[in-house]
Amino acid sequence: MGLKDYQEAWDYQEDLFKSVVDLKLANRDLPPAEQHETPNRLLFVEHPHVYTLGKSGSEANLLLNDNELKEKEATYYKINRGGDITYHGPGQLVCYPIIDLDNFFTDIHKYLRLLEEAVILTLAEYGIKGGRVEKFTGVWIEFDKGNHKGMGWNPRKICAIGVKTSRWVTMHGLALNVNTDLSYFDNIIPCGIDDKAVTSIAHELGKKVDMQGVQTKLKDHLIKLMGMEEVD
């Protein structure tokens, strides 16, 4: 989708999400032979500077007032996904899967772990070891305390995840920091976690990377892990 205003992309997600839910409801009144297959989509996008707050989050984790948001050329939205506050902006690859989990498995925890695994496998292709930190959703660098004995432990979040599901249809998704301007995270308490840092692929490698290449790798891993088949 390229660089797309957050509200515009959100409205598009909502339209696709509603169309799948409506189709599932309509199928309930039809015999199996006449039911229509529900589509599954992976939307990839970058956003202009924006902060979004999930339904379980706290506004106290946004450290800017309205005037300061304008100075940063950033917008702010309260949205209907899980999780707390996060930042989206240029250089960050956002993926919104609009999929019907009834086509695959009906387990939201498995779905979240699958999103994380797709990112972990993508990072590995760049020589970056990503993983999970107990009790926190998302993907982290220097995540394994046991691997850093005597060196301190500084887990850094490289990918945030927050989703919404209804009737096993998903929306929202993941945000992977690729060439992201990390200074924008200084204006929030990312995901409500105040003692851990954020990072990006570019920061870890010391150089910018091709966004399209990251997108292709992430898409391929998501398709394989979900057992999907790409169609035109």
Is residue 53 a contact partner of residue 78, using CB atoms and an 8 Å limit? yes
Please confirm, yes or no, whether 159 is among the known catalytic residues: no
Distance between CA atoms of 215 and 172, rounded to whole angstroms? 16
From 74, 123, 171, 191, the catalytic residue: 191
Question: Nearest 10 degrees: CA dihedral of 78, 81, 87, 90?
Answer: -110
Strand, coil or helix: what is 85?
Answer: strand
Which of 149, 167, 154, 135 has the alpha carbon at shortest distance from 19?
Answer: 167
Is residue 94 a contact partner of residue 45, using CB atoms and an 8 Å limit? yes
Distance between CA atoms of 43 and 159, rounded to whole angstroms? 16
Beta-strand ranges (E) seen in 61-124 are: 75-78, 85-88, 92-98
Beta-strand ranges (E) seen in 25-124 are: 41-45, 50-53, 75-78, 85-88, 92-98
Cα dist from 137 to 5, 174, 232, whole Å: 25, 10, 32
Is residue 105 a contact partner of residue 187, using CB atoms and an 8 Å limit? no
Catalytically active residues are: 191
